[in-house]
Structure 1
Amino acid sequence: MTVDNDSTLVTTLLENNCRPTWPAWTCIFCNVCGLTSTAMWFLVLLPQVWKNFRRKSVAGLSPLWATANFSASLTNFFFVYLYAKIPLYGKINSVYMPILEFTLLVQFLIYGNFKREIKVAYFVFCVCLWTTIVTLQLVLRQFDNMQWLAITLWSVETFPQVLLNLKLKSASGLSKKSVIIATIGKTTDFLANYGLVVPVQYVVMIYFSSSVAYFNSILVTWYHHGSSSVARCIKAAIISTLTLFLAGFAVGLGLNTESYYSVLGPLSIIIVIGGGYTYFNYCRQVDGDSEDKTDAGHHVSEENDQKVFSITGQMDYTTKL
């Protein structure tokens, strides 16, 4: 291959899906961001898979997150290769990511602390779900409409993990390396998809997946141990930066869709996560207190019964004497 051919190949890779009214450098920059996010996705789940393997456990991880992730990737595969015009990095991701995500699901099957019956039932459910997705794709060939299924799944995939973190008041089950890689990848993903011409499905999908992933990163930072003043300052700086990016994602969604309905994106995320926080920190705590009081009442009642039985027994014994 000659130097000219190499130069042409590089130019082709970095000038895909350009916005015609934007400067040429923005197209190159956004494609570089897209390729960077591809590199991040090649790495993102590896630390999590290794952590699960090392501790022989998936405690602290949501199986719904992993299932939604793989199901969305399976749906997206048909959309990328049989319908849409997607940059090269998108095509690479659509093949590689399902492999890693399926590996994670196998770890849930092996290491999950669930009853055998539940594992079998969940396995059958997943096989039926994935068979249905593949059949609908190949028979109906409504790839653009089916892609909304992937968007929906990718939009909600991280919600179960975020809510689980709120419930446990911990993010110890997550690999921090994976979370850091995901945060970087979601940032470059956002820049790539909002700076290039891509289908509206991808615009909506990237907003939700990036925003919820950022909320997950905020929780990981918040629950990270460190009580020194320096640690608190670093945590505050990280959370503030992530929050600023979240605002930028919302603005980008509005500019790209050019619709007032875009406000429903951040609003729905706030409602779900805010509702989960309220439930696990207030409503569920009240229920727990009520249960504790009930248990305490039963415990006192049992103690009183034992005392009555003891006194009655002594009286009977004295009478017999």
Structure 2
Amino acid sequence: MGLLVDGKWHDTWYDTKSTGGAFKRSAAQFRNWLTADGSAGPSGKGGFNAETDRYHLYVSLACPWAHRTLIFRELKGLNKHVSVSVVHPDMLDKGWTFETDDHGATGDTLHGLGFAHQIYTKADPTYSGRVTVPILWDKKQQTIVSNESSEIIRMFNSAFYGITGNADDYWPEQMRDEIEEVNARIYSNVNNGVYKSGFATSQQAYDAAVDPLFETLDWLEDRLASNRYLMGDRLTEADWRLFTTLIRFDPVYHLHFKCNRRRLIDYPNLWAYTRELYQWPGVASTVNIHHIVRHYHYSHESINPHRIIPTNPILDYMEPHGRGQRPAA
């Protein structure tokens, strides 16, 4: 995971020495909004109105943040409207690449470039910062709309309604305050918590991350004992934001990131809930366990210096989940 400095690529890992061994995630820098009429969103500038075949999504099948956007592309019926390129699962000295020698890696089907960092410098030749996915690209303005997954899924949730007629709403206005509260705890302690545990380089930093992680998983297990979904009977973005971490937990985070107090399958409600979301129409096609396992174990040399890919547990995500009838979104 390198970075660009004034448009030049540097193979530099995260600096944990200055933070006492703690992993600190960088904030996304492209924060424009795709909207139905092109009006400006909460941040950035306007001019990005919803149109068929105007936008292109760059993703990794291994990355939980990019995975969110693929799920919303499926849920909202955007496959014919937003095209996609998939990077190779190995992220080494050049960062994310567009090599195609792995099942599911497509290459850069839009520009034919070799590396994801070239997408950033195509948008801004002097860009400085981490090169992350997802990347939402505007073919018309030839620039990056956004590289912030939590905002891209909200764009996908609402911007294309006039084109697709898909009225499923995973960000209902009357529930937003409560969703944000749940999202905040899950992001800090679970979504990012697994990374804070796995990338810690001191015992103190690891302990400070892993304890809140499992306290929050315990809280989620209890919440799902009396709620079908995180917000009750209605499926919302909070569920999908959590799902992309849960689906990776036993195959990767439990072993590779030392999140091994318990496995996901040791939580009856969370495990059944994960299976239900996996079985939701269109979602299973967005999950590539091979890319997930390969990426983490092969790319993180500081954690797995010999790049040995482990034999993983065989998990049946299609096992009946027993969580009741499926409601409308």
Q: TM-score, normalised by structure 2?
A: 0.28
Larger radius of gyration: 1
More strand by share: 2
Higher RCO by CA contacts (8 Å cutoff, separation 6 or greater) = 1
Q: TM-score, normalised by structure 1?
A: 0.28
